[in-house]
Amino acid sequence: MDSCEVLVLVDNVSDILSTVPENVTPEVPNVVKAGATELSGKCLCCAQWGLSLIISTIVDGEKQTLLFDSGPEGYGVDRNGDRLGVNFEEIDAAVFSHGHWDHVGGMITALGLISAAKDGRKTPVFANQGMFVERAMQRPDGSRLPFAKVPSPQELENAGGQVILGDDERTLLADNFYLSGEITRTTSYEKGLLGQVCKIPEGDWVKDELILDERFVAVNVRGKGIIVFTACSHAGVVNVLRHARKVFDPIPIYGVMGGFHLSGNYCESIIPETVADMQDFDLRVLVPGHCTGWRATHKLVETFGEAKVTPSAVGRRHVF
């Protein structure tokens, strides 16, 4: 690709004041460009626990745009899309990163907005069958806290999607985007989401901590290398980066953006090993967001420096 532009449609953090590198546009200039005439709460985006990125690539003047997840609910997609002036007609396809509500709970609304902008034309939605299982967290007392169900393939179709299921890696939208297959697990310390269970067709609940349905997206930018987009890194961000390096070798990994899954009791305990192993990739850009957590973000800045690490925030636009 000649360039790659990423608009943060949904993320946990709103930050309109922190300074950012030249390749990042903060939220306020973006909402003003979209039509805001005064600075107020009404003109700003809302932060929510989840993630949604609008990723656009340009090659030879041709633009392709991918919606990577949709946050936890439709409200954030609708409100933030309006405040940021998103042209939903330009979204050519959507990707489910994995079957968790905080990443795809807003997809029905997103597809509705896209479909309306396209006069009812269908939009491809790439997913795999493992994303649609019923999930819960196993409590210490043996009870389960259920997760909200993600939209079913039929619901996605009804909302304006053309669901395309597949487990294997593939390229999307004229080969502008790479969508991974199952992420290879090689580290000893990245163990997924401890305590998660899922219901199998027979009706029993079984351990589902590895979240094998998780996928990442990558883009190859001319003169820079591979940018990896990882929504939640339940597979472990080091495993994600190792998988990407193996796929794209000898093209270097330029940067990584998304949730690094380093908050929470267990995940915070593996921050030292994770950050140490991330140094093996000679990353030029790190954009930690969503489930990375402040402790891991602090350690990343301490290790890689502010010149390379820019924490994600809703409404920001990154150009690579």
Give me the pLDDT at residue 16, please: 97
pLDDT means per 10 residues, the chain with 320 residues, are: 98 97 98 97 98 97 97 98 98 98 98 97 97 96 96 98 98 98 98 96 94 98 98 98 98 98 97 98 98 98 98 98
DSSP structure string for 3-24: EEEEEEEE-S---SSS---TTE
Give me the pLDDT at residue 173, please: 98
Q: What is the mean pLDDT of the chain?
A: 97
Can you say how many angstroms the Cα of residue 95 is from the centroid of all Cα atoms in its chain?
A: 9
Q: Is 267 exposed, middle or buried (0-12, 13-18, 19+ CB in 10 A)?
A: buried
Q: How far apart are CA 178 and CA 192, in angstroms?
A: 23
Q: Is 220:226 a contact under the CB 8 Å cutoff?
A: yes
Q: How far apart are CA 191 and CA 197, in angstroms?
A: 14
Bridge partner list, 258: 230, 288
Look at residue 249 and give its three-state secondary structure. Answer: coil
Give me the pLDDT at residue 312, please: 98
Q: Is 283:256 a contact under the CB 8 Å cutoff?
A: yes
Please name the residue that has the structure tokens 């990125």: 53
Please name the residue that has the structure tokens 């932060």: 47
Give me the pLDDT at residue 171, please: 98
Look at residue 5 and give its three-state secondary structure. Answer: strand
Give me the pLDDT at residue 108, please: 98
